[in-house]
């Protein structure tokens, strides 16, 4: 199916275009409020916390504050991709698992991406605020011109002096108020064409500040080196797990079954009853070994994933969960097998975390493709549990992030205390 033909924002659809313009204006207004309040708050907290590092207090507070800054930046990366298709890949250096506050503080302060984030906060509270507010202002400001033309001008002037300025139009009477109304109509017409691009300008500014700039290639090489190492380590660990499961499970049962059959052969003439008992035991052992082998194969690559694709594989996974899970799938065809496999096991890990740790009563999974030509697979897992999940908190999300990083994928987590928890994953699939 053609992605653009069913996209309500496609320019060929007049109603969809109007909704896109209104949506862009509303998003710009919300973004301007968040940009101003969030950026100022996080920048002040960061400066104070870093200033307190020599006194020792900042050693404890700085990792928490900078983690909040990264979460705020990652949220902006997420909405940039969702709202305007602007991808801003993160380039944070990983911190060692179990690092103490001292190592975390200086590890984060030694990361160039941290200082890009702090510089971005300054830009976000100034130019970012303006570029986010412009789409909303362009959409709302014409209302004032229409109100002046309708008679509001009388509240500001008696008709003999300039009592109000609307843009560059001095309003002093009904005639000039009508000019203000015409200017408002022109601005409204301009907003129809300019509001979505202006919102995109905001995210392009964000990308310009948060991107690695001239060191982007070196940073890219570093990230690829780390993800390759993670992929090799993961593959080695997976092979060790398969070997261990075979040795401790199916292999042990098959050896025991062979010994039982040897005993049966010896007892067949002497003690037929005992031989029949051992044959029944061998049959049970063979069934258990077959079940373990099937589970092992399912853990390597589920047959339903190979045969029916990611959507049906996730539905089958949801049916085995003890928590009510609703799965929504909107995929145009199938992605490459490695991408589907990575997405499946990432979803499996996130669902396992939700079942084990969230206390949720319901889980929602949404899979769909976004971007030009559907080149980006977006997966959202939401639960109504207690919240408080975070990457690196021992919940397995760090492993999911590493798995996705092998494919240039990103992971974002929104999990305020008290819930709900929303985990969003994006993987290039073109």
What pLDDT does residue 10 have? 46
What pLDDT does residue 360 have? 85
| Rounded CA separation 361/56 (Å) | 42
What is the gyration radius of the CA atoms in the chain, in angstroms?
30
What pLDDT does residue 173 have? 75
Weakly modelled stretches of the chain, pLDDT under 50: 1-12
Most distant pair of Cα atoms in the chain: their distance: 125
Beta 169-171 vs 164-166: how paired, if at all? antiparallel
What pLDDT does residue 294 have? 64
Nearest to 93 by CA among 211, 219, 215: 219
What pLDDT does residue 1 have? 35
What pLDDT does residue 365 have? 92
Length of the chain measured in residues: 430
What pLDDT does residue 216 have? 55
With beta carbons less than 8 A apart as the criterion, state whether 63 and 105 touch.
yes
With beta carbons less than 8 A apart as the criterion, state whether 351 and 325 touch.
yes
What pLDDT does residue 126 have? 93
What pLDDT does residue 241 have? 62
With beta carbons less than 8 A apart as the criterion, state whether 315 and 329 touch.
yes
- 391: left (phi > 0), else alpha (psi -120 to 50), else beta? beta
With beta carbons less than 8 A apart as the criterion, state whether 307 and 344 touch.
no
| Rounded CA separation 164/172 (Å) | 7
| Rounded CA separation 142/136 (Å) | 11
With beta carbons less than 8 A apart as the criterion, state whether 364 and 382 touch.
yes
What pLDDT does residue 393 have? 55
| Rounded CA separation 347/355 (Å) | 12
């Amino acid at each position: 199916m053609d992605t653009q033909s069913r996209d309500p924002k496609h320019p060929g659809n007049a109603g969809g275009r109007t909704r896109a313009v209104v949506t862009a204006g509303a998003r710009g207004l919300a973004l301007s409020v968040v940009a101003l309040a969030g950026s100022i708050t996080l920048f002040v907290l960061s400066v104070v916390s870093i200033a307190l590092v020599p006194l020792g207090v900042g050693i404890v507070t700085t990792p928490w504050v900078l983690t909040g800054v990264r979460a705020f930046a990652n949220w902006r990366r997420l909405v940039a991709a969702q709202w305007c298709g602007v991808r801003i890949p993160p380039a944070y250096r990983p911190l060692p698992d179990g690092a103490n506050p001292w190592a975390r503080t200086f590890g984060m302060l030694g990361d160039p991406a941290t200082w890009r984030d702090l510089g971005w906060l300054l830009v976000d509270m100034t130019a970012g605020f303006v570029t986010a507010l412009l789409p909303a202002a362009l959409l709302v400001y014409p209302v004032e011109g229409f109100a002046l033309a309708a008679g509001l001008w009388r509240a500001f002037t008696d008709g003999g002096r300039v009592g109000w300025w609307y843009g560059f139009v001095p309003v002093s009477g009904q005639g000039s108020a009508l000019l203000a109304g015409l200017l408002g109509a022109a601005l409204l017409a301009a907003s129809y064409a300019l509001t979505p691009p202006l919102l995109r300008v905001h995210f392009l500014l964000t990308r310009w500040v948060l991107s690695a700039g001239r060191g982007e290639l070196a940073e890219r090489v570093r990230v690829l080196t780390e993800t390759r190492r993670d992929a090799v380590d993961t593959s080695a660990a997976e092979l060790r797990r398969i070997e261990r499961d075979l040795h401790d499970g199916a292999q042990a049962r098959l050896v025991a079954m062979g010994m039982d059959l040897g005993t049966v052969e010896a007892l067949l003439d002497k003690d037929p009853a005992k031989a029949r008992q051992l044959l029944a035991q061998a049959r049970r052992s063979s069934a258990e070994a077959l079940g373990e082998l099937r589970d092992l194969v399912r853990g390597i690559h589920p047959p339903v994933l190979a045969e029916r694709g990611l959507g049906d594989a996730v539905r089958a996974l949801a049916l085995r969960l003890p928590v009510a899970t609703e799965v929504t799938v909107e995929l145009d065809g199938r992605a490459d097998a490695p991408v589907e496999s990575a997405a499946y096991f990432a979803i499996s890990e996130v669902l396992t975390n939700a079942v084990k740790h969230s206390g949720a009563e319901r889980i929602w999974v949404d899979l769909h493709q976004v971007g030009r030509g559907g080149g980006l697979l977006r997966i959202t897992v939401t639960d109504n549990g207690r919240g408080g999940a975070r990457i690196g908190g021992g919940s397995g999300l760090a492993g999911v992030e590493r798995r996705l990083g092998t494919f240039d994928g990103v992971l974002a987590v929104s999990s305020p205390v008290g819930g709900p928890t929303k985990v969003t994953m994006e993987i290039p699939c073109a």
